[in-house]
Amino acid sequence: MTATLTKPPSDIPTEPENPRRGRTKGAFLHWVATHALGLALGLMFATPVVFVFLTAVMPDDQAFTSDLWPREWHWENFVEVFDQAPLFRYLVNSLTYSLLATGGMLLSSIPAAYALAKLRWRGRNLAFLLVIGAMMLPPQVVAVPLYDTWSSLGLTGTLWPLIVPYFLFDAFSIFLLRQFMLTIPQSYVDAARVDGCSEFQAMVRIVVPMAKPGIAATALFCFLFTWNDYFGPLLYTGEVKDQWTLSLALATFKGMHIVQWNSSMAVTFLTMVPAVVLFVFAQKSFVKGITFTGVKG
């Protein structure tokens, strides 16, 4: 997991009270300066993507020149890349990996997080430490024996070695869900127990509905992490092209299928779209999730 801890942000934090509103000329200049700086920062973060977009719609012979603005707008470049490479195949693979992994993660991680947050048992602290340890472990450390095992099972060359673990254990998700569940007052769970609910019922009826935003955030991060994953697919499907994910295919694109820069940039742009769409629809969850990994950790 490359981005282990930093994946998720807090409730998009609200602006602080402003006690100094409308004061002196100095304050006004200060306002102008900070906002100019802020605007510059925003632009700095946005321009690379703008350039990519502009290059993507350029005609073939213009893309590798020093022009910044397209001579003509070739919107069809975004469609043509689907003919130049089996993008749909890669898209299906990426979706398979991301959706199955996210689903499996929810099945396995919610009960585990519940046990860590809401049940008392000996060894719980140790278990939590192990979860953190697993979360911090560079994936390369365990890659050798895992690859060996998966290859003796005949499953290398498929995405299963990447998907299956999510059905059992995903450290980051367990960690994040536990953090969310800790914020749910224990009294709700206790009340459910008093009412005769089993722990399973307490989890499903009380904690899961209350932790919905947290679960949504965890699912989002899991989806994005698998969508963006490069090491895993490279390791297990590098030589089997019809199993490639978009991320993996993208890395090979420039040479293999597409020599033109505009097409290469069109695909680059397309792979970034899902993240943006997810963010637009679930901004709150994202931000909440991120702060939970850092601040409340």
Partner 1 sequence: MRKHTRAALLCVTAALTLTACAAGKGGGSTSEAAAAPGQDDKLTLTVWSNFSDREYGEVTKALKTFNQKFPNIEIKHEGSQDDDKITAGIRSGNTPDVALSFTTDNIGQFCSSGAFQPLKAYIDRDKVDMDQINPAVREYTEYKGNRCAMPMLTDVYAMYYNEDMLAAAGITAPPKTMDELYDAAVKATKRAPNGDIEVAGYLPTMGFYANRPTILAPYFDAAWETADGKSALATSPGWTEMMTFQKKLVDFYGHDALERFRAGLGQEYSADHAFHQGKIAIMVDGEYRTAFLKAQAPQVRFRTAPFPTLKADQYGTAFTTGTIMGIPKGAKNPGAAWELIKHLSFDTDTIVGLANAIKNVPSTKAALESPKLEVDEAFKTFVDLARSDKLKGNPVTPIGDAHIKAVTDFSVSYQSGQVPDLAAGLKGVDQNIDDQIAKSGK
Partner 2 sequence: MTTTLGARPAPGRGRARARHRLTVLAFTAPAVLGFVLFFGYPLVATVVFSFTRYDLINPPELTGLANYEFMFKDPLLVKAITNTLWFVVVLTLARTAFALGVASVIARLKSGVGLIRTLCYLPSLAPPVAATLVFFMVLRPNGGPVDSFLGWFGVDSPLWFSDPAWAKPGITAIMLWISGDLMIIILAAILDVPQEQYEAAELDGAGPVRRWWHVTLPTISPVLLFGVVNSVILALQLFTQAVVAGSAGSGAADATGSTKYLGFPDNSTLTFPVYLYAQGFRYFDMGYAAAMATLLFVISFGVTILLVQRMRKNSSAEEGGPGA
Tell me which of 57, 189, 207, 217 binds partner 2, using CB under 8 A: 189
Residues 13, 24, 69, 83: which binds partner 2 (CB under 8 A)?
Answer: 13
Task: Name the minimum Å distance from CB 102 to partner 1.
Answer: 26
Q: Does 68 bind partner 2 (CB under 8 A)?
A: yes
For partner 1, the binding residues (CB under 8 A) are: 122-123, 126, 145, 147-152, 154, 156-157, 236, 238-241, 255-256, 259
Give 3's contacts (C-beta < 8 A, 6+ positions apart): 225
Which stretch, 3-11, 76-84, 85-93, 205-213, contacts partner 2 (CB under 8 A)?
A: 3-11
| Interface with partner 2: number of residues (CB under 8 A) | 130
Q: Report which of 214, 202, 227 is spatially closest to residue 277, judged by C-alpha positions.
A: 227
- For residue 115, the minimal CB distance to partner 1 (Å) is 15
Q: What angle do CA 212, 215, 219 make, to 5 degrees?
A: 140
Residue 109 is a binding residue for partner 2 (CB under 8 A): yes
Q: Does 154 bind partner 2 (CB under 8 A)?
A: no
- Nearest approach, Cβ of residue 121 and partner 2 (Å): 5
Q: Applying CB under 8 A, which of residues 86, 158, 231, 282 lies at the interface with partner 2?
A: 231
How many Cα atoms are found within 13 Å in the side-chain-facing hemisphere of 15?
A: 3
Q: Determine, following the binding rule CB under 8 A, whether residue 266 of this chain makes contact with partner 2.
A: no
Residue 132's binding partner, choosing from partner 2, partner 1, none, with beta-carbon cut-off 5 to 8 A by kind? Answer: partner 2
Rounded to an integer, what distance in angstroms lies between the CA atom of residue 8 and that of residue 295? 11
191 binds partner 2 (CB under 8 A): no
Say which DSSP state 137 is in.
Answer: S
Q: Residue 97's binding partner, choosing from partner 2, partner 1, none, with beta-carbon cut-off 5 to 8 A by kind?
A: none
Q: Residue 254: which H helix or E strand, with range?
A: helix 246-256
Radius of gyration of the chain (CA): 23
Residue 201 binds: one of partner 2, partner 1, none (C-beta under 5 to 8 A by kind): none
Spatial distance between the Cα atoms of 274 and 297, rounded to a whole number of angstroms: 28
What is the token pair recorded at 105? 């993660």
Nearer to partner 1, 166 or 236 (CB): 236
- Chain centre distance of CA 131: 19
Residue 154 interaction partner, one of partner 2, partner 1, none, beta carbon < 5-8 Å per kind: partner 1
| CB distance 227 to 159 below 8 Å | no
Closer to partner 1 by Cβ: residue 18 or 152:
152
Distances in Å between the alpha carbon of 84 and those of 6, 95, 254? 35, 20, 12
258 Cβ contact list (under 8 Å, min separation 6): 81, 84, 85, 264, 267
